[in-house]
Amino acid sequence: MAFQFINRDISWLYFNRRVLEEAARTSVPAAERLNFLSIYSSNLDEFSRVRVPAHMLAGDPKKKEVALEVQNLMFSQQEYFGSILSSLIQELQQQGVLFIYNRDIPPEIMPEVSNYFYSYIAAYMRVMFLQSDSFFFPENNYIYIAVLLGDMQIALLPIPSDKLPRFFTLNKDGKQYVLFIDDIIKAHLSFIFADRSISGAYSFKVSRDAELGLSEEEEERLASKLEKRLSRRELGLVSRLLYDAKMPEAALSRLIAELGMTQAMIISGGSYHNLKDLSSIKLGVSGAHYAPWVPRQLAVSSEGMFSRIAQGDMLLHLPFHSYNTILRFFNEAALDPAVTEINMTVYRLATTSLIAESLITAALSGKRVNVFVELKARFDEANNINWARKMKAAGVKVIYSIPGLKVHAKVALVKRKTDNKTTLFGLLGTGNFNEVKAAFYTDHMLLTADLRLLKDLDNLFSVLKRRRRFIDPQSLTPKHLLIAPFNMQPSFEALIDREIQHAKAGKKALMIVKVNNLEDKRMISKLYDASNAGVSIRLIVRGICRLAPGVEGQSSNIVVHRVIDRYLEHGRIFYFLNDGFSEWFLGSADWMSRNLYRRVEVAFPVYSPELQAQLSHILDLYWSDNVQAVKLAENGDNLQICATETPVHAQQLMYHWVTGL
């Protein structure tokens, strides 16, 4: 039989709906619900820029059928979004927060609102007219108001949310009023068009293709090429037009024709767009946010990080552990006179990165610092270029992207010399070296002096420094690390095959995998083979999952869960029972084709029995979650898990377990 695979984009839309469902939970504090609405909207914007263009140009009937399903799912989710927001607004009203949404501005606050318009907003009211003999280029994800005038003209006004806060907030008479600046502009159209009659005003925005289109030849001078292409990214093909459903058909048709958007995905929506801005609202009510979870700071003696790591591996579970331990690792490396060399990979840095500053300090103090900077990290290219140039100016040896590959590994290697002997210390993780995002991403970081791992890591850095395309798979033969695109995919296949052999021999066979995305057909087919052989398979997949679980004769032994909570699940964990001699791996790679074959990724074994026990406990918590987890259906949709008498909330239990509180 032919194996069944769920469409990648359909699966992703089901994931994003699960984010939306979190916003619908009345048990979630109000500001956090607004934040989940914001995350959903931001996710959808990126999807429209990166994935929708592929459907726009679909030629064969099957792809067009998928494109229609994508459009229908997006439409139904946006309706659900509107109903959630309306319900939340009603709840806030009972707490004294008056969110002015789809209604007139109350007259009692109009003086303050008008003052704000004339003092601030009016400065940006640059009127443009939609007509064939004039040029108007709608910017990516920028909101405009199409004003229909009595003389059959359409005027276009920008909503300057990049210059001013999207929301105007006013406290008056014991109430908090929250208004879109969109509505403030619409309330003053008679001033802007004093000599014209106005028949309507409707918001719209466009999303543009984010593909940079870099060729192999261009990547040799990638930094300068990227800067030029980044300025052009905002000029990409329109992939989606989102418009107010109340806009008259004739006006919409004219808008599409005049702006050359006949190939775009045309989606009707509400009166407001770019609702990712909802997270910027500051609610003046108590209990609007989650109760804070203070991370645990690991104790390190006065002898320092390297002395502590030499005594045994340390495993951090972020953000339940403090990220300060990672910062201290780099800071001590920068200042320790015995440290001679620092090597690391960079995929996404914070805009104000303390780690990058530590590397600069290390280089200025005379240490050899080699940093591999991935310039092609989507939407972080400009920030990476900026830091690369700062580090290079300080004496850091910056190695730019390799043609045809992205370096997505999250690893660092420190060399320390005492008594003419060099010792190695490593940091291997599942998440980026970004202290800002580490506050709301769950990840795992291993600090180790284990030479089995670090010799492989040292060899990897030697290969990276050559900056060549990896044509020969034998150019690196790691013994302990699983490194893509060298030995990772075949190693994972071999680990699954071993479970299959145990199952065929009548032994208990089990594997548990926790990843962000499961998309690669080859790995999914191998999981189907394992299921048919009797291997019990538990998958915890946050996002895309192309595997169809629970299908008779294909995946009847596979169950898939998805967990969405206050922190974004990001850590990848791989467990194989191996007839009682279990093996554990953590890593940077999802089981996606791009991760396994077209990126440099590192998965690393966890050898310590104590740390293995920690990972076992973590997987037990997440698999048992019946509060934030859902089970995936055969078609990839989210199915509610029936809660038992004892609720199991994995992230909450993780916090209490790690901190001891």
Active site residues: 408
Quick count: other Cβ atoms within 10 Å of Cβ 117? 19
Task: Let me know the angle formed at the C-alpha of 280 by 274 and 284, rounded to the nearest 5 degrees.
Answer: 135
d(CA 76, CA 72): 6
> In Å, how far are 29, 35, 105, 181 from 109, measured between CA atoms?
27, 27, 8, 14
d(CA 29, CA 35): 10
Check if the beta carbon of residue 644 is closer than 8 Å to that of residue 626: yes
What's 491's DSSP letter? Answer: H
> In Å, how far are 319, 346, 401, 432, 514 from 571, measured between CA atoms?
11, 17, 24, 11, 7
d(CA 138, CA 104): 27
d(CA 138, CA 135): 10
In b/e form, how buried is each residue of 325-363, taking b as 16+ CB within 10 angstroms? bbbbbbbbbbebeebebbbbbbbbbbeebbbbbbbbbbb
> In Å, how far are 186, 314, 537, 607 from 613, measured between CA atoms?
60, 13, 19, 11
Number of Cα atoms under 13 Å in the Cβ half of residue 497: 6
d(CA 118, CA 252): 30
Number of Cα atoms under 13 Å in the Cβ half of residue 335: 11
Closest CA to 591 of 17, 8, 18: 8
Quick count: other Cβ atoms within 10 Å of Cβ 290? 12
- Amino acid identity, residue 77? Q
- Strand duo 154-158 + 175-180: pairing: unpaired
What's 631's DSSP letter? Answer: E
Q: Which tokens belong to 512? A: 């548990």
Query: What's the alpha-carbon Rg for the chain, to the nearest Å?
Result: 27
Quick count: other Cβ atoms within 10 Å of Cβ 130? 19
- Concatenated DSSP letters of 498-542: HHHHHHHTT---EEEEEES-B--HHHHHHHHHHHHHT-EEEEEES
> In Å, how far are 391, 488, 513, 570 from 595, measured between CA atoms?
27, 10, 16, 15
Q: Which tokens belong to 458? A: 């040292």
d(CA 581, CA 198): 76
